[in-house]
Amino acid sequence: MLRLAVARFSHEGNSFSPVPTGLPEFRREWYRGQEAEAVYRGTTTEGGGAVAFLDAHPEWRGSFLRMTGATPAGPVTRDAYEAIVGEIVADLRDGGPGGGRPGGGGPGGEGWDAVFVSLHGAMLVEGMDCADTETVRRIREAIGPDLPLGVSFDLHANLDPRIAGLVTVAAGFKEHPHTDMAETAGRVLDLLDRTVRGEIRPVGHIAKLDAILPSINMRTAEGPMAELEAFARGLECDPRILDASPFGGFSYGDTAVAGAGAMVFADGDRELARAAAGRLVDEMRRRLDRFYIALPSAEEGIARALRSEVRPVAVIDSGDNPLSGGIADTPEMLRALLAAAPEVPCVFAFFADPGLVERCRAAGEGGAIGGTLGGRISRDFGPPVPFAGTVRRLTDGNYVNSGPMMHGLPMSLGPTAVIDVGNVGIIVTTACGSAHDPAFFALHGIDVAATAVLCVKAKNHFRAAFGAICPAMIDIDAPGPAALDIAGFPFRLAPPTLYPLRAG
């Protein structure tokens, strides 16, 4: 029987977030062994894709090593990084949970026939540049130079070209919103399977674009990224091209390998991979100007929403999107919403404020509550907003994603509350999560379809589930760790020749 090691260590690092990412943040998705297989089974995640592959290939036996990921935020602490990578590397050397197959396991990857790892590609670690490269390098060192190693990456990876020489094969998500995580894992695993069987000999190349792209206009249903994905699928019409992945990059990762790019793997032909990756980057460059758009302010966006005859309207603040490293703490959208004194039912999602949640629990449902919202972690994005309201609902913060993205994955926000301030229901959570799934709102007793205006700290992933629920969506630009003006952030490590940094 063939033996597969599966591991996950995924994080998207925002260099401009004031909130570091430590071990507690990773423990919200923290699985291993049979528990991991049970949790991921049936989910639209990379872990779910691995379980599906093993179910479809009984000749493979899978061992789930550490499987973990954290909500995007500031850099991962060095201690957390070393603990997680150290555990994965030790398992790869020792044979994983339960040891190796009979007589197997041990140094150099003995006992494994292939290794699959789910990474993001835009991880930041304190005191380390190119963290994903270092992770792949340590894994390669642990398993030896020849053992097949496959990696899946997020579409927003800031990829280091050196990775292509360290892995056997890799692929990136092709959809944004990322509803193809499981399919991407399955694609990598199928290529690993063919490699082990001697059917293919993958060789890859990563090419970089000399620009940092804003992700707000990077959806793959329409626009420039949709055209790039179609071009990549055209490249794959050549049977020698095993995978062609455009990467939009992560706008807020200040690293020496910042920026968009492309990765192509070909069967035994490195020059073909290099040429195809170059063609993909050339196509990106041709569309460069189309990625940069203007957005209305919070005040303008909310005014438009309240005038709209189409309901519900979603007003989306991407500048504090938790899935871009936002902190669920910037106050500008709430300030504009309360100043507008809406006469229709509105919902604001959300602030992460554990102290306020505790106060709500002490007051109880129906109790009066007051104070300030936002500006708790940092006042760089605006001062707090004073409020006086009533506690409508208290929850334990636990739910299971019901939408198409990460469907079936359990989530935990810690205790949460809903506070009514006039016609505005404000969700407050203990942990900073993401409001991209309908189950997030169902947890809080909110029927989005019956809401006139939904103000949400989110970005494109919100559209995966809510495109059919909210017929009108208005993206706004407000101050935050993921605001639209890339050149306005204090980049230090990214090459200053990258556009739009060189224009700033």
Do residues 171 and 159 make contact, with C-beta atoms less than 8 angstroms apart? no
Average pLDDT (163-170) is 98
For the segment 410-436, the average pLDDT, to the nearest whole number, is 97
User: pLDDT, tens digit, for every residue of 251-272?
Assistant: 999 999 999 999 999 999 999 9
Strand partners, 347: 425, 454
Find residue 420's DSSP bridge partners. Answer: 390, 425
Tell me the CA end-to-end span of the chain in Å, nearest whole number: 57
What is the SS3 string spanning 326-342? CCCCCCHHHHHHHHCCC
Q: Are strands 410-412 and 241-247 parallel, antiparallel or unpaired?
A: unpaired
The confidence band for 502, taking pLDDT boundaries of 50, 70 and 90, is: confident
Sign of CA dihedral 491, 495, 496, 501: negative
Pseudo-torsion of CA 322, 327, 333, 334, nearest 10°?
120
User: 196: which residues sit within 8 A by CB, 6+ positions away?
Assistant: 2, 113, 114, 148
How many percent of the chain have pLDDT more than 90?
A: 96
Sketch the domain layout of the chain as residue ranges: 2-290, 298-483
pLDDT number for residue 354: 98
For residue 466, what is the DSSP state? H
- Label the pairing between strands 368-373 and 385-395: antiparallel
Strand, helix or coil at 368? strand
57-95 pLDDT per residue, tens? 999 999 999 999 999 999 999 999 999 999 999 999 998
